[in-house]
Amino acid sequence: MQIRKHFHFEAAHSLPHHLGKCARMHGHSYRLEVAIGGPIQRDGPARGMVEDFDALETLVGTEVIEALDHRTLNDFIDNPTAEEIVLWIWRRLEPRLPSLEELALWETASACAVLRRGDDR
């Protein structure tokens, strides 16, 4: 089974290799969707769940949102395209969240980058 949780953060960036307006500093209201999978737990504090949504929120909040929210992404991602940002997020989460199956990072309401387990990195 799979569960998903959405997160939001605000961040600024410029795309140094872009030939258009995105080469200038600008910001986005990003929406991150985190999907994890596994069996429904039959005992323990997450009984009846794949994972406790609160535990997922704490982990993503600590590892990702606190690191990215209201930051200039160029300070720690060389070319912070949506694709590079979602890859950076995957590398932060996957060691602590082995059940991670998919990330979708929405840069605007109509544009996102999706990274799934097994995709080339």
Average pLDDT over residues 11-20: 96
Catalytic residue among 13, 28, 102, 107: 107
The question of whether 8 is a catalytic residue gets the answer no
Which string of DSSP letters, residue by residue, matches 89-107?
A: HHHHHTTT-TTEEEEEEEE
121 has pLDDT over 80: no
Mean pLDDT throughout 17-41? 96
Active-site position among 10, 51, 70, 102: 70
Q: What is the pLDDT of residue 68?
A: 98
**Domain spans of the chain, in order of start:** 2-116
Q: Which two tokens stand for residue 41?
A: 């737990």
Annotation says 33 is catalytic: no
- Output the CA torsion sign for 116, 96, 59, 71: negative
pLDDT at residue 102, as a whole number:
98
pTM over 0.85: yes
pLDDT at 46: 87
CA pair distance 104, 116, nearest whole angstrom: 9
Determine the Cα angle at 57 with ends 71 and 4, to 5°.
105
CA distances from 84 to 24, 42, 45, 74, 96 (A): 18, 37, 35, 11, 20
112 is catalytic: no
Q: How far apart are alpha carbons 6 and 105 in whole angstroms?
A: 10
Q: Which of 22, 57, 63, 84 is catalytic?
A: 22
Q: Does domain 2-116 have CATH number 3.40.630.30?
A: no
